[in-house]
Amino acid sequence: MIDYAKELNPEQYRVVMEEGGPLLVLAGAGSGKTRTLTYRVARLLESGVAQENILLATFTNKASHAMLNRVESLIHAETRNIMGGTFHHVAHLILRRHAHYLGYKTNFSIVDSEDARQIISTCMAELKINPKLSKFPKSNIVGDIISLSVNTETTVENVLMSRYPFFLHLMDEIIQVASLYEQKKRELAVMDFDDLLSNCRMLLQENADVLKNLSGRFQYVLVDEYQDTNLIQADLIDLLASTHKNLMVVGDDSQSIYSFRGADFNNIINFPHRYPDCKIFKLETNYRSTPEILHLANLSITNNEKQFPKELKAVRKNGMRPVIVSAQNVVKQADFVAQRVTELMRGGVPLREIAVLYRAHYHSMEMQMEFVRRDIPFDMRSGIRFFEQAHIKDVTSYMRVLVNPRDELAWRRLLIMYPKVGKATFNKIWHYLKKEDNPLNAVLSEDFIKAMSKSAKPGLEECRKTIRQLLDLPENERIPERIIDVLLNRGGYRVYLQDNYSDASSREEDLIQLGNFSAQFLQMEDFLNELALLTNMAKEENIGEEDDEDKVALSTIHQAKGLEWSYVFLIWCADGMIPLQKALKEQDGEEEERRLFYVAVTRAKDQLYLCYPALDYTRSSGVLNMAPSRFIREIAPLSEYDADRPFEQWMLCDDY
């Protein structure tokens, strides 16, 4: 038998030994929630609960497997009969046995995102919708719209209004596609990932016998990361636990940061209202961070109105206070971080114990460049390297042909963006252009357009118009920022982003920031050469690397959730960046942004640096004074005389 009192702290022990009933476990950052869940399952098994009477719902199969493997090592027995896994996995197992109640055969197929996209494309074709001609969103975007509508239980119209306002004029057509998509899936006897959850819920709601059987079977239902559930997932869990009411949900309302994915913060905050007899437990003992880091985190999150009050308490001994670092500008900010990383590395700190976090992917531009220059290995956790992203390469291809009209690769990239210009058409175009003294002038000639196929002419005319607009710019205005402005506002690239990417607004912001970033270069050639050198150096750096090689982590805060590092640098910690200005327009946006700040802060074990540039520059607004994040200012005055403030304050000299 496991000695639970010995192996658990008092907070964890009370949760693990609780007999039953609805339980809400508020597990603060670094408080051992996984350990608590694992020992809870082990305790249930040791007390005589049969494996088949336990359901463990998680957000990743990895988390489920890790917990159940740990349970097996604790009780020295297999756990193969526990139903454990993701919500989709659980729903899938249930539907395989009972889908016939919904009119499906039990051998229904599950379609992945690519299959779903193809079905949607078929629907668009049947409705005679040509996305290239009507500027209708591509099938993957329509799929994202439908998915968000399902997961947030709102209408397609509401999704368009809140996330895709530029498609509102196509609302009727998108609704038609969504309706036909549902019909097609029925005809083909297939379900997509969203259907697994919604159909499983429908099955349980409409079939009392099935509900009685399943809810009667699951005497104990346990849910991990409950703050990240959407409405359907919460309903599904309520139904499966409806007979015995032995439902234990574990999560942290202070780490609810995924509303953009459909997660509903109200699921956890209103749990006591849905279950008035629930018992609330708090895991507040933090094993990760120093008292100083936790003090700052606690002070920050208390400013949220919607929360379960709690206070993380450190087990570790005192360390250094977090440091607020004010750099002269964004270049100096990157320089400071890189220099401090170098010092830590020389002091014997493994690079894998260091992370640079940020709110948006474009915030990492200067940091990536500085790390490459200094030959500091880093791992991009927030996606591919900034300058290697498709939309960055798209706009720089226009810049490249302006600088070097004989750049075949740049021509290939920009031309293939236009309708009916594929590989064969491009080869024909390049065969024509490479014989000309100046391909830019040749593209604008009437002989060029006459030589092209009829189907490609509309797209090529659009391309010619854009190039003409770029060439009409005075020589001194042919700079990245102006080129980006023309491409977005006159050249149709904004529409291209909207038609091809569900995160079009984020990509547009990337481009605007790229223009601001380019202001430090006097000539466009210098800017392009720097990008080319950095990209090639990064590729050389990756040759022969293993996944476990010692590297600094570069990550958005969202991607960093659940992880920890000894040293954390939170950059661009300035108002308008943290919190992100556009996020403040969302309902309860400031509170979710403060939760993001809290998540970032609580990733640090030993030392936390909150960095921001005192000055920023945009061509449209000139030099901007940047204030530190309101999340910093609201917890303590920024005064060098305040010895009791929860952080140190460093102002870097110009020659740092």
C-alpha distance from residue 127 to each of 147, 164, 166 (Å):
20, 21, 21
Is residue 36 among the annotated active site residues?
Answer: no
CA gap 570, 612 in Å, rounded? 9
Measure the CA–CA gap between 74 and 204, rounded to whole angstroms.
34
The two structure tokens encoding residue 625 = 């004074």
Q: Which tokens in the block code for residue 107?
A: 């051998």
The DSSP bridge pattern shows strands 83-86 and 54-58 to be parallel
Q: Which of 11, 195, 224, 253 is catalytic?
A: 224
Per DSSP, the residues of 498-553 read: HHH-TTHHHHHHHHHHHHHHGGG-SSHHHHHHHHHHHHHHHHHHHTT--TTS--EE
Q: How many helices (H) and strands (E) does the chain have?
A: 31, 19
> Residue 249 contacts by C-beta under 8 Å, 6 or more apart in sequence?
23, 24, 25, 222, 223, 226, 237, 268, 271
* 316-338 burial: b if 16+ Cβ within 10 Å, else e: beebebbbbbbbbbbebbbbbbb
From 7, 14, 18, 34, the catalytic residue: 34
Torsion of CA 125, 126, 128, 132, to 10 degrees: -10
Helices 457-471 and 390-403 pack at an angle, to 10 degrees, of 60
* 592 assigned to active site: no
Specify the pairing of strand 615-618 against strand 622-625. Answer: antiparallel
* 255 belongs to the catalytic site: yes
Identify the CA nearest to 603 among candidates 284, 226, 268, 294. 294
CB 566 within 8 A of CB 316: no
CA separation for the pair 177, 138 (Å, rounded) = 12
* Active-site position among 58, 255, 307, 466: 255
Q: Which residues pair with 616 in a beta bridge?
A: 624
Tokens in use for 255?
Answer: 């780490």
- In the structure encoding, which two tokens stand for residue 214, read together? 């399943």
**CA quadruple 590, 591, 593, 595: dihedral, nearest 10:** 170
The CA-based dihedral angle spanning residues 40, 42, 43, 48, taken in that order and rounded to the nearest 10 degrees? 130
CA distance 237 to 221: 8
**Catalytic-residue membership of 342:** no
- In 305-348, alpha helices (H): 330-346
Burial class (CB in 10 A: 0-12, 13-18, 19+), 83: buried
Q: Which of 507, 603, 605, 645 is catalytic?
A: 603
Instruction: Say if residues 199 and 191 touch (Cβ distance below 8 Å).
Output: yes
Please state, in angstroms and rounded to a whole number, the distance separating the CA atoms of residues 402 and 411. Answer: 10
37-43-46 Cα angle (round to 5):
145
Distance CA 652, CA 148 (A): 45
Interatomic CA distance for residues 82 and 79, integer angstroms: 6
Phi-psi region of 623 (alpha: psi -120 to 50; beta: other; left: phi over 0): beta
Give the active site residues: 33-34, 224-225, 255, 603
